[in-house]
Every structure is written in C-alpha cells, then in structure tokens.
Structure 1
Amino acid sequence: MDRATLWDMTVTEVLIAPGQYADPYQGGITFEAQLAVRDVFDLGIRAFEEPTTHFAEGEPYWTAGKESRGSVGKHEF
C-alpha cells in the first residue's frame, strides 16, 4: 500500500511490476490473510508507523545502509 501511495501507482501496478515479487500465489488464501488485507485496505491499519516500501528475507546486498523498520515473520522491512 505504501508503494502505491508514495509512487503514485495502483496496487495492481505495484504487484505486477517486473522483478518485484514472485509469481502470484494460485492456491487458497487463509482467513487470517484475508483479515490482514482487509485491515490494510478497508481499515487503514499499518504494520509500521513510517511508510515502508521494501522487505527482504536475510540480508541482500541492497539492504546495506538502509534503516530497519521491523520484521513480520521472516521478512525484514
């Protein structure tokens, strides 16, 4: 949501941008995941106070010098 807002893109444009995310998941979506999406898009709830546009698992080269906002599961934002 933050990428879409900050970069003047639609959520769909953010999700399908080349090289940004893995191919969309084609399986079922848990009720917990559905609630999380609702919280963001319908209720405006955010995981972090500051806009957050990138996440990583592990420590890829491009995270050097970036400020950590926190983590959710294995993803560091």
Structure 2
Amino acid sequence: MDMLTDRVEGNVDDRIFITELLENLSKKQKYIIIEKFYKCHSDVEIARGLNITRQAVNKSKNEALKILKEHIINSIIV
C-alpha cells in the first residue's frame, strides 16, 4: 500500500482518502484495482497473476468499483 500512496499526486488528504477507500475492499479486490488502474495491467494479465479467469477479474473489479463509488458518495453526503 505504501507504494500506491507514495506515487499518488496531490496532497496528504487525498492520499489518506484513497488509502481509506481501498481499506473497504477485500484483499483480492484491492489487488485488482491497484493492478488495473495504478499499474495499468489488463484484465488478462491480472487474471494470469491470480490464476483466475478474465471474467472473474472483471466481476471482482466491478464489485470493487461499486463499493468505492458508494463510499465516495457517502463521504460527500456526510
């Protein structure tokens, strides 16, 4: 996780917010989100690394994005 927050541009509050958001995900979801959007790996590459199908990566990614979206919306409303 340190690698992610070290390279995120922006202020400390942004890094804390991103770190806290990712804590709401399972270990696998967090790995997929970081690999996909931070390291720019394809679903196929991620699937190979996890020894699962591309479809399973896509399903976990979509579930993770839904969770992140809900937490972002809730943080804005509060």
Using the size of structure 1 for normalisation, the TM-score is 0.31
Structure with the larger strand share: 1
More RCO (CA 8 Å, sep 6+): 2
Q: TM-score, normalised by structure 2?
A: 0.31
